[in-house]
Amino acid sequence: MEIKLFTGEIDDLVHLLTQNKWIYHTNQHVKEESVRAAFAEGYYENDRETYWILENGDRVGIIFIHDISDTIPLFDIRLHANCRGKGYGVMALRWLQEYLFEVKGKIRIEGYTRVDNIGMRKCFSKAGFVKEGYLRNAWENEDGTVTDSIVYGAIKEDWVLGNPTSIKIDDVPF
């Protein structure tokens, strides 16, 4: 797997985002015109960085790092449907930690996913992220329904030591 900076390959981005169903995202069916409009407005570059996930030169997914200027950036990983469940998510999360901690000097990364996105939850766990919170009715879906969400975190100290520390969520009963 290789990670490469997005440099304006809009047709490839449109293809990836519109030819896949994003079951665990608010907008499951991305429209071409919305991708092109967002690109024209600088969405994929303004205070964010966008990277292709490549395998043998083929674009198998994309990483959006949001709020890159913040101390604690957020991100979105999207994999082509036929590439899911093959380890790309874990590899992307590991790359993300190395890049954000080592290159960008960040101290923490947070990731949110719907509670029913078991595949992503496994990726977080395998990549050394710690489940830090369960958020009730926190994920708004396109159809108006609301789903519970889980937040995972990775901190630089754990990444450097190669050992995630447990959290003390139940240390006080309130």
Distances (CA, A) of 33 to 18, 27, 76, 84: 10, 14, 20, 25
Which among 28, 17, 24 has a CA at the least distance from the CA of 118? Answer: 24
Burial class (CB in 10 A: 0-12, 13-18, 19+), 160: exposed
Burial class (CB in 10 A: 0-12, 13-18, 19+), 83: middle
Say what the pLDDT of residue 106 is: 96
Beta strands, E only, the chain: 2-5, 48-55, 58-66, 74-79, 108-114, 130-140, 146-155
Burial class (CB in 10 A: 0-12, 13-18, 19+), 136: exposed
- What's the pTM value of the predicted model, to 2 decimals? 0.92
- pLDDT by 10s per residue, the chain, length 174: 999 999 999 999 999 999 999 999 888 899 999 999 999 999 998 889 999 999 999 999 999 999 888 999 999 999 999 999 999 999 999 999 999 999 999 999 999 999 999 999 999 999 999 999 999 999 998 889 999 999 999 999 999 999 999 888 888 877
Q: Which residues, including other chains, have CB under 8 Å from residue 140's CB and lie 6 or more apart?
A: 26, 146
**Does CATH number 3.30.1490.20 belong to domain 2-161?**
no
Judged by DSSP in three states, 134 sits in strand
Tokens of 120: 């992503």
Pair 88, 81: CB distance under 8 Å: no
Please state, rounded to an integer, the average pLDDT across all residues of the chain: 94
10 Å Cβ neighbour count for 118? 11
CA distance 138 to 140: 6
